[in-house]
Amino acid sequence: MAVARVAVYYGPTADDPLFAASTTWLGRNPWSQAPAAQPDLPGIAEITDDARLYGFHATLKPPMRLAANRPWDAVLTAVRSLTRRLQPFDLPPLAVRDLHGFLALRETMPCPALQSLADACVAELDAFRAPPSDAELARRRRSALTAEQDAMLVRWGYPYVFGTWFFHMTLTRRLTPAERAVYFPAAEAHFAAAVAMPRRVTDVCLFTQAEPGAAFTIAERVPLLG
């Protein structure tokens, strides 16, 4: 399978109420690509545009262009090898949070197993990653990175890994104060029933992007079998 980029994400399973809630909030099913009717909120299609493109997720291994001679099948084999050693675990309760102006679902307590999963995906799959271009580095650096984040960008191609990583499931672009006043309570209400339910992390999702600018879709779910 030819792909422009591959990412390893955590995403809710199709039978998890969080999957249905996120599909309607973002307006797209990341598995089927089917559009979904969004809540009746002013400008919601534009406010969720970037999040809809990437699909509802928490990043484990950030989107990467594949290095030369590193085909999709080899990535899938490596992910399966990794997940055979990793055990399922309980995900802490989630809640809507303001993340530097963006709205996202965040865990409400620390979860070392989440950090370990992300760390393993970044380190063990890095051989498949093509180095970032100068343009990609420049774009990332427009976010005023710390020295630690810049070092992660240079070494791992992404500024938020290992000590700078944090679990988040993005819901909106950066909001104005007026937009936040509308969207924060709306998101809390929309996701209330779904986040109230306990859930376990039992697999990871491989998302792929067919070509630059295309939406990311779920290509494979790989179970944790440890």
pLDDT for residue 75: 94
For the stretch 55-68, pLDDT in tens is: 999 999 999 999 98
The CATH number of the domain where 173 resides is what?
3.90.1140.10
Identify the weakest region by mean pLDDT among 37-51, 88-102, 126-140. Answer: 126-140
* Whole-number average pLDDT of the chain: 94
pLDDT for residue 134: 85
Query: pLDDT band at 141, cuts 50/70/90?
Result: confident
Cα distances from 69 to residues 44, 62, 66, 155, 179, in angstroms, run 41, 20, 8, 21, 46
For the stretch 189-204, pLDDT in tens is: 999 999 999 999 999 9
Q: Domain for residue 101, yes or no?
A: yes
Task: Give residue 137's domain range.
Answer: 5-221
* Number of structural domains found in the chain: 1
Tell me the whole-structure pTM to 2 decimals: 0.94
Percentage of the chain surpassing pLDDT 70?
99
Q: Domain for residue 226, yes or no?
A: no
Nearest CA to 187 out of 120, 93, 103, 126 is that of 103
Chain centroid, CA 29 distance in Å: 14
Query: pLDDT band at 142, cuts 50/70/90?
Result: confident
Q: Domain for residue 160, yes or no?
A: yes
Q: Domain for residue 145, yes or no?
A: yes
Q: Across-strand partners of 205?
A: 9, 221
Q: Which two tokens stand for residue 185?
A: 């309570």
Angle between helix 177-195 and helix 17-26 axes, rounded to 10 deg: 160
